Amino acid sequence: MGKPTGFKEIARKTDAETAPLERLKHWREFKVHGDEAERRAQGARCMDCGTPFCHTGHMVSGMASGCPINNLIPEWNDLIFRGRWKEALERLHKTNNFPEFTGRVCPAPCEGSCVLGVIQPPVTIKNNECAITDRGWEEGWVTAKIPQKRTGRKVAVIGSGPAGLACADQLNQAGHKVTVFEREDRIGGLLMYGIPNMKLEKEEVVTRRVNLMQEEGVDFITGVFVGKDKKWTAARLRGEFDAVVLCCGATLGRDLPIDGRDAKGVYLAMEFLTENTRYQLDHKFDGSNPALNATGLDVVVIGGGDTGTDCVGTSLRHGCKSVVQLEIMPMPPMERAANNPWPEWPKVYKMDYGQEEAAAVQGGDPRQYLVQTKRFVKDDAGNLSGLEICEIEWAKDDQGRFVPKEKPGTARVIPAQLALLAMGFLGPEQEVVQQFALETDARSNVKAEHGKFATNIPGVFAAGDMRRGQSLVVWAINEGRGAARECDRFLMGNTQLP
């Protein structure tokens, strides 16, 4: 700890943001790093605790507590304070293949378990991480590391999201020849089409890393949907490669099969977000919008998570007439509840960027809590015209399970010409699972024990959301690295991968 009194003398200060009404005019990232003196001061707040919970990565009460990839957070915070930025980047890359991704989109479970957070606002770990990696790219410290020796082994990685990219990066550095297959037209998976550009810029951040991996020897093939593609079948992949790692994600969206679901204007959130990002990239963010857009419409987003927030922010940039976000759960408390103690992830009320933008336009948080949708209302032409909703309360049923109960007299219809379903994901799409004849668990995820990642088919491994279910980018990186380690062990008899 370079400055023992740092946390006493220096207040937490997060990165600045462009004002909501201003950033709604564009699709660029809107967070702004502080100057070097400010970042070094924030690094000085780290206490270098005897037991740094920030990098433990344990699961507590079903949630991540600390960093799932065990980032050496106290070490690089201290190096920031001392102005040793290049060494800080080296420490960061020891555990994290892509800090430029996590420094932007990770919800920072590390900060939720920061020991300083017991008595004061926690260290700005996420902002510090992003500042380190961005400076590394700006200074030219991030360069291609081409393996000096090749093993002669070939590995196919299916899926180019964070798990697939992390796995490919590790296996390539081990000397294997890696080919990554992606069903979309661009590499990146969730990073490319699941997260809007204002949170994670594509050409400047995602594609930059992909290009570096290509320079290092990784091959990428787009437009191949393994499980449907007649050319690249499971049999061919197993025949041409020494091992296969499946990192296909949990992309099967949760639907809402209620009356009126067939109305024109009801979409899964990822359909909306993917089409928008693809269009904006194809048209160089020229100010126009795709055919599926929210311009001039009353929009209702069903679901209160990150994907719902992204739908809110995207709809506002399209120029929607209004936006409402429905959440079936109660409004979180302003401070930790007694049953949510540190170092658990703090389940407290906060305004994310989309809600801040909606509040700037409409005058308040767009979220309505303890609300359930009863039916989609259609006009005579079959177009969505509204949602019938009601207020609910959670009560126990005959089996003792908490279920939503409608409050009498609260049913009402709200206007909507566009409804976006952002209620999470059920698991992986089954085509690739069936073609490889993989065993699955009760939730339809691929059976592969964490730490081993081996499926029931020899030489076939699974990692990321398709193995563990919908989760965080940082967990995907953890899984991709772990699967690479076990795949390397399978191929070589032992492994030196971390």
Nearest Cα residue to 161 out of 136, 129, 134, 186: 186
Calpha distance 173→243 (Å, rounded): 16
Instruction: Give the helix/strand (H/E) hosting 17.
Output: strand 16-17
Q: Which phi-psi region, left, alpha or beta, contains residue 285 (left: φ > 0; alpha: ψ -120 to 50)?
A: left
Give me the pLDDT at residue 1, please.
Answer: 66
Domain extent listing, the chain: 6-139, 154-252+426-492, 255-423
Q: Tell me how far apart the terminal alpha carbons of the chain are, to the nearest angstrom.
A: 26
CATH of domain 6-139: 1.10.1060.10
The predicted structure's pLDDT at residue 48 = 85
**CATH numeric code, 154-252+426-492:** 3.50.50.60
What secondary structure does DSSP assign to 302-355, as a single string? E--SHHHHHHHHHHHHHT-SEEEEEESSPPPPSS--TTS-TTS--------HHH
**Superfamily (CATH) of domain 255-423:** FAD/NAD(P)-binding domain (3.50.50.60)
What are the C-alpha distances in Å from 419 to residues 146, 265, 298, 309, 312?
47, 6, 9, 14, 11
pTM here is: 0.96
Q: Do 6-139 and 154-252+426-492 come out as alike in CATH topology?
A: no
Give yes or no for a contact between 453 and 479, defined as CB atoms under 8 angstroms apart.
yes
| Separation of alpha carbons 201 and 154, rounded Å | 31
CA distance 231 to 221: 13
Residue type, 136: G
Q: How crowded is the C-beta side of 448, counted as CA atoms within 13 Å?
A: 32
pLDDT of residue 199: 97
Classify 86 as helix, strand or coil. helix
How much is the pLDDT for 106? 96
CA distance linking residue 447 with residue 468, whole number of Å: 9
Handedness of CA 21, 22, 26, 29 (dihedral sign): negative
* pLDDT at residue 432 in the model: 96
Q: What is the pLDDT of residue 32?
A: 94
Q: Checking DSSP bridges between strand 63-65 and strand 58-60, what pairing results, if any? A: antiparallel
pLDDT at 2: 72
* One-character DSSP codes across 340-398: S-TTS--------HHHHHHHHHHSS--EEESEEEEEEEE-TTSBEEEEEEEEEEEEE-T
pLDDT in tens, 100-131: 999 999 999 999 999 999 999 999 999 999 99
The reply to whether omega before 458 is within 30° of 0 (cis) is no
One digit per residue, the tens of pLDDT, for the chain of length 498 reads 678 899 999 999 999 999 999 999 999 999 999 999 999 999 999 988 888 999 988 888 888 899 999 999 999 999 999 999 999 999 999 999 999 999 999 999 999 999 999 999 999 999 999 999 999 999 999 999 999 999 999 999 999 999 999 999 999 999 999 999 999 999 999 999 999 999 999 999 999 999 999 999 999 999 999 999 999 999 999 999 999 999 999 999 999 999 999 999 999 999 999 999 999 999 999 999 999 999 999 999 999 999 999 999 999 999 999 999 999 999 999 999 999 999 999 999 999 999 999 999 999 999 999 999 999 999 999 999 999 999 999 999 999 999 999 999 999 999 999 999 999 999 999 999 999 999 999 999 999 999 999 999 999 999 999 999 999 999 999 999 999 999 999 999 999 999
**For 254-284, what is each residue's pLDDT tens digit?**
999 999 999 999 999 999 999 999 999 999 9
Nearest to 28 by CA among 313, 306, 295: 313
Q: Report pLDDT for 14.
A: 96
Q: Which of 197, 259, 244, 192 is nearest to 438 (CA)?
A: 244
Q: How much of the chain exceeds pLDDT 70, in percent?
A: 100
279 Cβ neighbours under 8 A, 6+ residues apart: 288, 289, 290
